[in-house]
Structure 1
Amino acid sequence: MTENDAKLQQIVQFLNNPENKDLEDSINNWRGLTPANEKFYQDIYKIWERAAGSAPLEKLDVNTALEKFSEKIRNQPIVTDGVAVKLNTNIFKWVAGIAAILAIAVLAYMYTQPYALTYITKTSTTAKDSVLLADGSKIYLDVNTTVKYPEKFSGDSRPLYYLSGNAFFKIAKDVSKPFIIYMDNTAVQVLGTSFNISKSAQYVNINVKTGRVMFTANSKTKSILSAGNAASYNLLTNKLTTYSGLNQNSDAWLTGELHFVDEPMANVVKKLEQYYKVDIDLDSNLSRLGKLNASFVNNNIDQVITVLEQTYPIKIYRNEDRLIISKK
């Protein structure tokens, strides 16, 4: 290694480790010898600073960068102990040494910094869809659902942004990298499980099918939900309500199955509205009808209406885009 290469390496070492006081004193003393030394230091600093925020090394055009760099420093003197040395005869060989040292410095810097993630926004509009993530996790999207996820996961977590809609998650297990779903001022953290999330402008609803998740609101309120449990968070009032007992119809949009066990009529109506996306008016005098025990698998709304009319003394008819339930 030549004296010039040694000085360059010393500068790079200092830039990577500015807390080293001995190295700092040595560099500062050398910089103060001549203006040329100070300019050389500033040039190296600018290159180092830009390299730290550049694209990954495999994407760099090394030959072009090398040529531009050599043009900038050609015939520029370095002064060491008062002796000026011109870089002209072996410029490319010297620059190659610089490039190698800088490459090591940049690589070391990038290795210790968070990787800049490239995010993809996925929206299902008129049809259900699914997304297979880089870690093997899978997300099933209901219509009108939007999520934002990284093309590749890096670092010590697996982040995803849930913007709106209804989705079912099957998360690949990775204890060292928890999967975190961010929704406004709330978050769900999992290690490996399956669960359903429904998000509207007012509510975030979570139903855990397998495993465990941790729900966090406003970075303060936390709740651990195990399989079979659910939670509902009001984004407007910041109120969290947890339930013991899975809402077995939370993923009906995905499975095509509706199951009712001792379900009050008022609750049946709400779930039919959610699943079939239709408004239903229930006569207040009928809210105390007997509880429903029934299962529907891939049935349309007309088939469900027939079963309800055969089970209860009611009549269901349509009024434009609404269903009216009244006493027979």
Structure 2
Amino acid sequence: MAEKDLYLQQIILFLNNPEDKELENTINEWRLLNSENERYYQDIYKIWQRAAESAPLEQVNVAIAVDKLSAKIGYNPAEAEVIPLRSRFRALKWTAGVAAMLAIAVLVYNYMQPQKPVYITKTTSVAKDSVLLADGSKVYLDAHSTVRYPEKFSGNTRPIYFVAGNAFFKIAKDASKPFFIHMDNTAVRVLGTSFNINKTTYHINIDVKTGRVMFIANRETKGILTAGTAANYNLRTNKLTTYASINQNSDAWLTGQLHFVDEPMADVVKKLEQHYKINIDLDSNLSRLGKLNASFINNNIDEVIAVLEQTYPIKISHKADRLIIRRK
């Protein structure tokens, strides 16, 4: 062990093992040498008391910790004042108490105690918003949606929590640190991809645009979803149903684009209701009309109505807060 570190570690060992009488006598002799030694010891003792619930200090690699601290504060042992010590503590180089005290603090709080990440909660109201995560990933939030995420990622994974609403995720690739989106007793595991999640009280809907994701429920893998695949998970029955996402339009809230390929009229109506947030009454005898093939890009509902009326023998009228579709 480097001589300059012996002095620091011996105090640490004594504070963690006060039953060692030989070590206690040696420390006390050194404390009595001068007031500076006593003040230095008391400073370390105060910090040690605050960390009483930490792991044993002797487990810490003092040399590594001190070197890291010295680099951060610009401390050069070769240029420091020499502090004379007797016996086991002689010829140790250190700055006047401050650097050693900071080293103990770093050892106790940074190297021994797990650092809890600071989480931020983002909730949207009536407006859409987005969040840029520390790893470069981006989360686009629909109105009335909530996500919790850390200020920075640490450890071997990148976890966030999607609480409720509708969100589109663009995840930065990092094969060494999988990205996890936690939702109640479920999670989505990602390496690098883009997808949409809609979470309600009883259902989670996932629509993968690029890459692939793993869906996990109750710590069990339920399925692997690839680009062009969607899934619905029922939180009450613990059942995952997968299907092609060609007509899902799950990210229409973000892109403003609706695409229909051979879509039955009944399903078209449901998606129009979701996208434009309106109620539509469709005569039951119209549900078997020919399937729709059309794309709408940033069109308002009146423009969509005009296209539908030109495509089918129907008449659409407004009544209060709803649309009524009838046969001509």
Specify if TM > 0.5.
Answer: yes
Shift of 1:253: 1.0
Offset, 1:104: 5.4
2:172 is aligned with what amino acid? A
Q: For the Cα contact (< 8 Å) 1:257–1:298, is it kept in 2? A: yes
Structure 1 CA distance for aligned equivalents of residues 14 and 239 of structure 2: 52
Q: Which amino acid aligns with 1:49?
A: A
Residues 10 and 210 of structure 1, relative CA distance in 2, 3 Å threshold: same
2:96 counterpart of 1:105 = no
In structure 1, how many angstroms separate the alpha carbons of the residues matched to 2:22 and 2:290?
A: 89
User: What number of residue pairs does the alignment pair up?
Assistant: 277
Residue 28 of structure 1 corresponds to which residue in structure 2? 19
Q: For residues 112 and 7 of structure 1, do their structure 2 counterparts lie closer, same or farther at Cα, with a shift above 3 Å needed?
A: closer
1: distance between equivalents of 2:285 and 2:130? Answer: 42
> Which amino acid is the alignment partner of residue 102 of structure 1?
I
TM-score, normalised relative to structure 2: 0.73
Matching residue of 1:257: 257
Could you say what the CA RMSD is over the residues aligned between the two structures, in angstroms? 3.4
The amino acid of 1:321's aligned partner reads D
1:89 aligned partner: none
How far apart are residue 10 of structure 1 and its match?
3.4
* Partners of 2:173 and 2:193 within 8 A in 1: yes
User: The residue matched to 1:28 in structure 2 has which SS?
Assistant: coil
| 1: CA distance, partners of 2:304 / 2:208 | 27
Describe how 1:133-144 pairs up with structure 2 within 5 A: 133-144=133-144
Amino acid at match of 1:105: L
Conservation of the 8 A alpha-carbon contact between 1:212 and 1:224: yes
CA contact (8 A) 1:209 1:246 kept: no
C-alpha distance in structure 2 between counterparts of 1:110 and 1:237, whole Å: 44
**1:188 & 1:224 partners in 2: Cα distance?**
10
Residue 87 (structure 1) aligns with: none
In structure 2, the CA distance between the partners of 1:31 and 1:306, relative to structure 1 (3 Å rule), is: farther
Give the superposition deviation at 1:206.
0.5
For 1:263-274, list aligned pairs within 5 A: 263-274=263-274
Deviates more, 1:206-215 or 1:239-248: 239-248
- The correspondence of residues 1-328 of structure 1 with structure 2, limited to 5 A, is 9-10=9-10, 12-13=12-13, 28-30=19-21, 45-49=48-52, 96=98, 99=101, 102-103=104-105, 105-106=107-108, 110-111=110-111, 114-328=114-328
Residue 111 of structure 1 deviates from its aligned partner by 3.8
Query: Conserved in 1, the CA contact under 8 Å of 2:222 and 2:240?
Result: no
SS in 2 for 1:49: coil
Secondary structure (helix, strand or coil) at the match of 1:168 reads strand
Q: 1:112 to 1:207 in 2, by over 3 A?
A: farther
Residue 199 of structure 1 aligns with an amino acid whose one-letter code is: K
Structure 1 Cα separation of the partners of residues 236 and 318 of structure 2: 34
- Comparing 244-253 and 278-287, the one that deviates more: 244-253
Describe the shift of the 1:94–1:266 C-alpha distance in structure 2 as closer, same or farther (beyond 3 A): same
SS at 2:19 equivalent: helix
Runs of 5+ in structure 1 lacking a partner? 19-23, 63-91
Give the secondary-structure state (helix, strand or coil) at the position aligned to 2:52. helix
1:36-74 deviations in Å (ceiling 9; x for gaps) = 98xx9986752443788xxxx99xxx9xxxxxxxxxxxx
Structure 1-normalised TM-score?
A: 0.73
Question: Do the aligned partners of residues 179 and 278 (structure 1) sit closer, same or farther apart at CA in structure 2, a change above 3 Å counting?
Answer: same
How far is the alpha carbon of 1:199 from its aligned partner?
Answer: 1.1
Is the CA contact (8 Å cut-off) linking 1:230 and 1:247 kept in structure 2? no
Partner Cα separation in structure 1 for residue 46 and residue 128 of structure 2: 55
Preserved contact between residue 247 and residue 259 of structure 2 (Cα < 8 Å): no
Shift in Å, 1:162: 0.8
Preserved contact between residue 142 and residue 167 of structure 1 (Cα < 8 Å): yes
Shift of 1:175: 0.9
Uncovered stretches (5+) of structure 2, i.e. residues with no partner: 29-41, 56-67, 74-93
Q: Identity of aligned pairs, percent?
A: 64
Over 3 Å counting, the alpha-carbon distance change for 1:103 and 1:264 in structure 2 is same
